Structure 1
Amino acid sequence: MNKATFQLLAQYNLWATQGLVKHLKKMPDDDFHQDVGLFFKTISGTLNHLLLGEHYLWYPRFKEEVSPRIALDHTIHTEKYVLLNELEQKSQNWIDFVATIPESMLNGNLTYQRASGQTLTLPYAATLLHVFNHGTHHRGQVTAAMTVLGYACPELDLVYMLAEKNQA
């Protein structure tokens, strides 16, 4: 994996988050907070987990080399628009961060502490890949829940972003 791959993944992460947020802003609060059987129960719970994981746990681990101790089900925001806006705004941080990573760092390791206090050392590139894969996983859960609730979903496959950028 090279730096260009991670730059593409960071761009995709922002693009997919923006597309999802655009659709979710139209959803009534009751449906946004309804238990639809997801691991984190609701769309809001799943997005809180995504915000927490991507931006409150992993970003500080990579950018600041600190390991915050926050439970994975901690609620950051209960108000829909605040949650959606922060999720969208913070996604830009990954683009900025990946631009600063020396290519050589991708061949190294990342050492951090889990919330339990356990120290882990993992391959840097594969762990960064996990961050973007994790976002894709949870956006997929949210779009499945939207479909069950009867809402239209954005096309979030990477090829749609590539086609859109190719047409621009």
Structure 2
Amino acid sequence: MKLKNLTTQILSSSVIKIHYKRPLFDSMTHITRSRDAMAVLRNYADPDSIDLKEHFYVLMLSNANRLLGVSLISIGATAGVCVGLKEILQLALITNSTGIIIAHNHPSGTLMPSQSDCEMTERIKEGLSLVDINLLDHLVFTSDGYTSFADNGYL
């Protein structure tokens, strides 16, 4: 009985191709403050579900703070949402982002970040820093308003 060459098996893998085409520069929204990012989210988020379940979003930005894309990462329950750092990193790397803004809604109506919000923000910030991507802000929003970690000195 002849043994297979394990080295050959390990090295023969599928071809992986990464493709991303950014929008035309002049058509990209320029994000200069939290209000700009929140305006994008208000256009993107479903207003009928803001008071129902938590939703977690990522806004990917270029070096010139131009919006590369928006992604809904996760939908949770009324009191929480699970967020995977791996998915955030994948999106940021594929879009060649140099900065991101994260955001989630509080169906309860409170704009005050929770302790778990702060811990999650720090974990995401540390993970992004390993690949030279800046966490620019974390927005907590309700149907009535929003709060910004950066504007309030939490970030």
Whose Rg is larger? 2
Q: The TM-score by the shorter chain falls in which range?
A: under 0.3
**Higher strand residue share:** 2
Question: Which protein, 1 or 2, shows the higher relative CO under an 8 Å CA cutoff with sep ≥ 6?
Answer: 1
Q: Provide the TM-score with structure 1 as the length reference.
A: 0.26
* Higher fraction of helix: 1
